[in-house]
Structure 1
Amino acid sequence: MMSLMDVDTLLTTTRSVRRKLDLDRPVEPEVLAECLRIALQAPAAGALLSSIRWLVIRDQATRSAVAEHVREPARAAQAQFGHLVSQATLASSRHLLDVLDRVPVFVLAAMIGRPAGPGADANVFYGSVYPAIWSFQLALRSRGLGTTITGYHLDGHEADVAALLGIPDDVTQVALLPVAYLTTTDFRPAARPSVQSVTYYERWGRAQD
């Protein structure tokens, strides 16, 4: 539970998990519901807070069907852009695709409506759901579960998944999160740029005096 992990550790060791998901251990409905309850406390634009929706998918046949709609565009993207990421990351992503249908639960984050336009409109729309997605991931991590954001099916297969799941036309699918218990607790802060190298002061490109 959260009391067993300090906040800084939680924030710096919550990773996108693909290889270390327990494919055989069930995820209790009450645990998932509690994590989603916490997620809904995330900040959002007031007018859009009531637009956030979660679709929990447990049925094996449905998960298998959704997984197929993820795999096709994912493998095409990996073939085209895989050279831009590390071999470890690519291998991890490929592993998840192979076992995706075996992950115990999918959670689909969605928003009622469509972004009104690019720029500020899209920023407000997606900015009202991604904090909730991140809070959901943190809540999972604090309870020994993990996930990763996937969105490959949105490239050409969003309508197929919508038809499969009965999602109305006026709902925007944002992210699919495969959820499972973790097979390890050995997560550490990742390699990141130094704060000094990515932070400017008063003017773009100006380092701190």
Structure 2
Amino acid sequence: MRRVKPEPIPAKVQESILDAAVRAPNAGNLQDWRFLLVDDAATKAQLGPLYRDALARLFNGPYREVRTAPAESGAPAMLASAQYLADNFETYPLLLFAFSTDPSGASVMPAVWSAQLAARAHGVGSTLTTVLSRYHATAVMRIMSVPKTEGWRPACMVTFGYPSGRWGLAVRRPAGEVSYRNRWGVGTGLDLAAPRWEEL
């Protein structure tokens, strides 16, 4: 959910988001994570140009072929949405940066996803992105005074905000087309043709 309102996220909702993050499973219960909330306009003003540069690099590098994908693939809409985030970066009311010393992200990513699910339960949309970590990790750490000597690295950033429009079900290939049982290519035996989100 990239198109969101600039209105602040209440403290109680932020508390729920962070509490959900630290409840996530993690390797060895080492809790190899740190979370940094950003809602300061001056900090966002420093990060915004870096984010736009990082997205441009992504679009001109790894996403070059995605940019020429046909409309029916959904790629043009996704790219437009990603560009919207870059163009409006400074208006997002809350950013969450996740840091870890584990380069695999195996522990911090479940924590981030838990935070996103908690946000959704409060009607707050979110988007996970790694482009700042990929292209401007050192600058991100400098801007937010992350100690260099402790091994922390930015894993990702998540934007949070109340949706400015319709919040529909994400269009995906049915689970039955990408899931198997016991052997590759063998059907699951489950009725997976229709989405189950509304049943939750």
Superposition TM-score tier, normalisation by shorter sequence: 0.7 to 0.9
- Segments of structure 1 that go 5 or more residues without pairing to the other structure are 1-16, 116-121
- Structure with the larger RCO, 1 or 2 (CA within 8 Å, 6+ apart): 1
Which residue is 1:75 aligned to?
Answer: 56
Which residue is 1:33 aligned to?
Answer: 15
1:189 has 2:169 as partner:
yes
Which residue is 1:95 aligned to?
Answer: 84
Rounded to whole Å, the distance in 2 between the matches of 1:41 and 1:55 is: 16
Please give the secondary structure, in 2, of the residue aligned with 1:95: helix
Q: TM-score, normalised by structure 1?
A: 0.78
CA deviation after TM superposition for structure 1 residue 208, in Å: 5.3
Rounded to whole Å, the distance in 1 between the matches of 2:8 and 2:59 is: 30
4+ residue stretches of structure 1 with deviation over 4 A?
A: none
Please give the secondary structure, in 2, of the residue aligned with 1:69: helix
Output the aligned Cα RMSD.
1.9
Rounded to whole Å, the distance in 2 between the matches of 1:190 and 1:18 is: 13
Give the count of matched residue pairs: 179
Which residue is 1:9 aligned to?
Answer: none
CA deviation after TM superposition for structure 1 residue 44, in Å: 1.2
The alpha-carbon distance between structure 1 residues 45 and 182, as it changes in their structure 2 partners (threshold 3 A), is: same
Q: TM-score, normalised by structure 2?
A: 0.81
Aligned pairs for 1:164-203 within 5 A: 164-169=143-148, 170-184=151-165, 186-203=166-183
1:22-62 deviations in Å (ceiling 9; x for gaps):
02x1112232022111221111112432x211101111010
The equivalent position to 2:133 in structure 1, one of 149, 154, 157, is: 154
Task: Say if 2:39 and 2:93, in contact at 8 Å, map to a contact too.
Answer: yes
